[in-house]
Amino acid sequence: MSYFCEWAGVSRSGYYAWLHAENTRSHQDEKDWKDYELIKNIFDKKQKKAGTLTIKMILENEYFVTMNHKKIRRLMHKFHLETKVRRAKPYKNSQSNS
């Protein structure tokens, strides 16, 4: 076992700690998936234009769920939810000069 740990560049105690935390990781993944479904529902309702703080406000005001904006950002990154950002109008500055 020590050969494989040395080859992988991890300590034996770290490997065993990772091995014994399997249940904790799977439980956390289940909680993340449930929260993701809630976030995805809001994200789709807003036509993919809702950012982290907008989702946080909707969760608190409509669903009565308290969730940290950092967690929402982490889950959006984990499940590849990207917010559409409105592009600035390219002709806006040229018309103001006339």
**Closest listed residue to residue 75, CA positions, set 97, 42, 45:** 42
Residue 9: inside a domain: no
What lies within 8 Å, CB to CB, of 61 at 6+ separation is none
**Domain around 49:** 29-96
73 falls within a domain: yes
Domain annotation covers residue 21: no
Number of domains, the chain: 1
User: Residue 22 domain-assigned?
Assistant: no
Is 42 within the bounds of a domain? Answer: yes
Q: What is the pLDDT of residues 8-56, one digit of tens each?
A: 999 999 999 999 999 999 999 999 999 999 999 999 999 999 999 999 9
Convert the pLDDT of each residue in 51-74 to its tens digit: 999 999 999 999 999 999 999 999
Q: Where does the pLDDT of residue 91 fall: very low under 50, low under 70, confident under 90, or very high at 90 and above?
A: confident
pTM of the model: 0.76
